[in-house]
Amino acid sequence: MKATPCLLLLFALPCLGIPSQARAQDGPEAGGNEIQLWTAGGHAVNGITQHTGIWSAGFRYGWILTEPHGPGFLRGSFEYALEAVPAVVVFQPANTAFGAAVNPFALKWNFDTSGRVVPYVDLGGGVLFTNVQVPTGTSRINFTTSGAVGLHFLTSKLNWSADVRFMHISNAGLEAANPGINTLQLRLGIGWFTHARR
């Protein structure tokens, strides 16, 4: 896609060793939590739904479940999170759908870099409810699955995040017609990590 070089540049800039003016916020820590507000937008990538766009905004609350462990560059900590998504807009050729979603599980691996930049991978899923059928002629209730790779940028008080996310939207056979929508999205977030009491 044409946007790929821009996305790579976005992820690379914080890694160039630009000095920080303040001490970075501590990253994920076992027994702590992640609190985040985020927004995401993207477009369908193939099939009969390729002219569909999507935008959403939501809230995430996560639990850091483990201390960093694992071999070499794979070393990291495991996080479980819930997400509420009160704003979802699906731009379809025939109409625009408005809705909301709940994601009862997000499984996240925060890599242990001991620096200001914390890479992560994320898998999740949930249920999407809309006022009109998505895609047109199918269902107003859909299920979502997603996978993402991204970065947390730790600053003195907050952390910013950016990830590239693949999301599949499907009614899972609730209706006979089930073409599904495969989307590629950019997601941006702002939040903070809380830490367990000592």
Measured between alpha carbons, how far apart are the two ends of the chain, in Å? 47
How far is it, in rounded angstroms, from Cα 116 to Cα 153? 6
More confident residue, 20 or 101: 101
Q: Which pLDDT belongs to residue 77?
A: 96
Could you tell me where the beta strands, DSSP code E, fall in the chain?
33-44, 53-64, 76-91, 96-111, 117-130, 141-154, 159-170, 181-194
Choose the CATH number for 32-192 among 3.40.50.1780, 1.10.510.10, 1.10.10.10, 2.40.160.20.
2.40.160.20
Q: Which pLDDT belongs to residue 88?
A: 98
How far is it, in rounded angstroms, from Cα 166 to Cα 42? 9
Give the model's confidence band at 196: pLDDT under 50 very low, under 70 low, under 90 confident, else very high. Answer: confident
pLDDT, tens only, 136-183: 999 999 999 999 999 999 998 899 999 999 999 999 888 888 888 999
pLDDT, tens only, 62-100: 999 999 999 988 999 999 999 999 999 999 999 999 999
Give whole-number Cα distances, 73 to 10, 14, 112, 118, 119, in Å. Answer: 22, 19, 8, 12, 11
Q: Are 30 and 194 in contact (CB under 8 A)?
A: no
pLDDT, tens only, 16-55: 443 434 445 678 999 999 999 999 999 999 888 889 999 9
pTM of the model: 0.84
Residues 6+ apart with CB under 8 A from 67: 30, 77
